[in-house]
Amino acid sequence: MLSTVLIYKALIALGVFAVSLVIAMYSTYGERKIAAFIQDRVGPDRAGPWGILQPLADGGKMFLKEELIPGIANKWLFILGPSISMFVANISSVVIPWARPMVMEDGSTFHFQVSDINIGVLYVFGVVSIGVYGIMIGGWASNNKYSLLGTLRASSQMISYELAMGLSLVALIMTTGSLSLNDIVEKQDADFCNFVYQPLGFLIFIICAFAECNRAPFDLPESESELVGGYHTEFTSMKLGFYLFAEYINMFASSALMATLYFGGYHFPFENELIPSLGENGVRILGFVLLMGKIIFFIFLFMWVRWTIPRFRYDQLMNLGWKSLLPLSILNLVLTGIIMAFTEGWLKF
């Protein structure tokens, strides 16, 4: 039944959209609470018990602020910039499988995933590589020198770190033998998770993910102390909200990717032993909950690093990207190839 599957897929798409928005919303609360904890403060505690209504208050404030478009700015591109940022942030979690596939009554397998594209990893790359346009267009259209400087920093930073990220993923694809995220997760079922095989690759990937999300210590495009607000200096109201919110959604999406690619996604140790006692669905739900747990741990890691490590200088950022991460990822690729050539028996001695 094509239409039934289509309805289920639409429901999953809506669910993923809602979950990523809610998690991003509460990431802002989490970030303020974690920052407060690290800096020995209390953090937001007035809106609701323990301040848990704070994100709603923030969102309401963002919506009700005065909408301001500078007269010198390019109006359409000024509106287009934040829209692209938000759109791209939301489409990146399409290929992530959320729970164990279910075998339907008619024998077909149903994947808990919005779309099973057979080039899943490449799709993620494509989305990551066009993510910079929102910042570029918005920053340029502001017609402000601080915005332009932030834009230039963002674009050169993203281009530089994309390369190392791509190469670290190529090594992962080599060990898995597939570009589909479903296959990558299923491969980690019987085996160890990919982190065991690719520790260096994961390290490079997570550093690049920080840089791609423009998170501290790589938040030079919006460094408040030098560029006021970087690319979003001129933005007010919900357009600013979109930029800030897109950053949190990107964090959620890249945490989900890291959990899926390197930490087994919805798989967890001894799950096959648990199937008799919990049942297939119980294990499926437990796997989903654990996947969410992994994602929330990575989001926490993002915040932990932000409030621990100071910002890089710009030349240090470029040196790290081109002179350390890129050679390291090539080394990782070559090492993976050599080890695979021996273990898979391509070379006979």
In the bound complex, what is the minimum distance in angstroms from residue 121's beta carbon to another protein?
9
| Spatial CB neighbours of 47, under 8 Å, sequence gap ≥ 6 | 53, 54, 56, 57
The site string for another protein over 53-82 (x = CB under 8 A, - otherwise) reads ------------------------x-----
Out of 12, 86, 89, 148, name the contact with another protein by CB under 8 A: 148
Longest CA–CA span in the chain (Å) reads 73
Binding of another protein by 5 (CB under 8 A):
no
Residue 269 in tokens: 């140790």
Out of 16, 73, 96, 158, name the contact with another protein by CB under 8 A: 158
Out of 152, 170, 275, 331, name the contact with another protein by CB under 8 A: 152
Binding of another protein by 122 (CB under 8 A):
yes
CB closer to another protein, 141 vs 193: 141
Binding of another protein by 236 (CB under 8 A):
no
Binding of another protein by 104 (CB under 8 A):
no
268-307 positions binding another protein, by CB under 8 A? none
CB closer to another protein, 124 vs 249: 124
CB closer to another protein, 19 vs 77: 77
Stretch that binds another protein, among 19-27, 112-120, 194-202, 247-255 (CB under 8 A): 112-120
Binding of another protein by 146 (CB under 8 A):
no
CB closer to another protein, 59 vs 126: 126
In the bound complex, what is the minimum distance in angstroms from residue 179's beta carbon to another protein?
6
In the bound complex, what is the minimum distance in angstroms from residue 78's beta carbon to another protein?
13
CB closer to another protein, 162 vs 222: 162
In the bound complex, what is the minimum distance in angstroms from residue 151's beta carbon to another protein?
7
Stretch that binds another protein, among 46-54, 123-131, 264-272, 297-305 (CB under 8 A): 123-131
Binding of another protein by 174 (CB under 8 A):
no
Asked if residue 231 lies in contact with residue 190, where contact means CB atoms within 8 angstroms, the answer is no
Q: Map the chain to HEC letters.
A: CHHHHHHHHHHHHHHHHHHHHHHHHHHHHHHHHHHHHHCCCCCCCCCCHHHCCHHHHHHHHHHHCCCCCCCCCCHHHHHHHHHHHHHHHHHHHHHCCCEEEEECCCCCEEEECCCCCCCHHHHHHHHHHHCHHHHHHHHHHCCCHHHHHHHHHHHHHHHHHHHHHHHHHHHHHHHHCCCCHHHHHHHHHHCCCHHHHCHHHHHHHHHHHHHHCCCCCCCHHHCHHHHCCHHHCCCCHHHHHHHHHHHHHHHHHHHHHHHHHHCCCCCCCCHHHHHHHHHHHHHHHHHHHHHHHHHHHHHHHHHHHHCCCCCCCHHHHHHHHHHHHHHHHHHHHHHHHHHHHHHCCCCCC
CB closer to another protein, 74 vs 237: 74
Asked if residue 91 lies in contact with residue 114, where contact means CB atoms within 8 angstroms, the answer is no
Binding of another protein by 208 (CB under 8 A):
no
CB closer to another protein, 16 vs 84: 84
Binding of another protein by 89 (CB under 8 A):
no
Peptide linkage before 310 cis (omega within 30 of 0): no
Residues that bind another protein (CB under 8 A): 77, 117-119, 122-123, 125-126, 128-130, 132-133, 136-137, 140, 148, 151-152, 155-156, 158-159, 162, 179
